[in-house]
Each structure stands twice: as structure tokens, then as C-alpha cells.
Amino acid sequence: MDRSLTHRRALRTDSTDAEATLWFHLRDRRMSGFKFRRQHPIGRFIVDFYCPERHLAIELDGGQHFEPAAQVYDERRTTFLQNQGITVLRFSNDLIFQELQAVLEMIFRVLREGPSP
């Protein structure tokens, strides 16, 4: 079996509480009819959530993402994705639990506006 597929399946199985919470609102076209994929590969990276119709990637960041080395990696990854024409939204896991409605509104706003030119 493809190593990447095995890795993505493991990420889906071991999703964080924040990922599970957001996925509940994104799955089954619950976000205004837009389809999202979980743990979707783009190049050598795997994004947490991806809407192919709007070229939108959503990344959830736990505490490890605030370490200097992780921040450099995340910046490189975001630059790569943006160079592919993908809009990247990043939210901390804490924000998912503290301000879920605001996060959902931000995602909806980006979906409604569509990809930037």
C-alpha cells in the first residue's frame, strides 16, 4: 500500500479533538454545500482540510506549531501552497474550542468570496 495513504489514514484515525470538532462542521458538504477532504496530500505536504472547489486549505495548529523550528517549516509549507494557488487559513486548536463560531464564519466568508485572483 502507498506509504502516503497509510500515513494519511493514520492521521485521520488519530485526529485531535480540534480536528474532529471542525471536521463535524465541514464534512458531508455541511459548510454551504462545499466539499472538504481530510488529510489531503498536496505535493509533499498533507493539509488538515482541503476544499478543491475553492483551492482552500485549512490548518489547525497545536502547541508544537509555536516552536521556532515548526514555525519555519509552517512558513515554507504555506509559501509552497500559496505558490500552487491555494489559500491557507491557520487556526490554533484553542481557537476552535474558544471561538468556533468565529472560525466557521471566517471559513464561510473565504468560501463565499472564492479564490483570490
Break the chain into its structural domains and give their ranges: 3-113
> Do 81 and 57 contact (CB within 8 A), yes or no?
yes
> Do 41 and 8 contact (CB within 8 A), yes or no?
yes
* pLDDT string in tens for the chain (117-residue length): 455 656 445 554 567 999 999 999 999 999 999 999 999 999 999 999 999 999 999 999 986 656 777 789 999 999 999 999 999 999 999 999 999 999 999 999 999 997 554
- Give the residue among 87, 22, 89 at the shortest CA–CA distance from 55: 87
Q: Rounded CA gap, 45 and 55, in Å?
A: 15
Q: What is the pTM of this model?
A: 0.84
Question: Looking at the domain 3-113, which fold is it?
Answer: Endonuclease; Chain A (3.40.960)
> Do 48 and 15 contact (CB within 8 A), yes or no?
no
Backbone angles phi, psi at 101, to 5 degrees: -60, -40
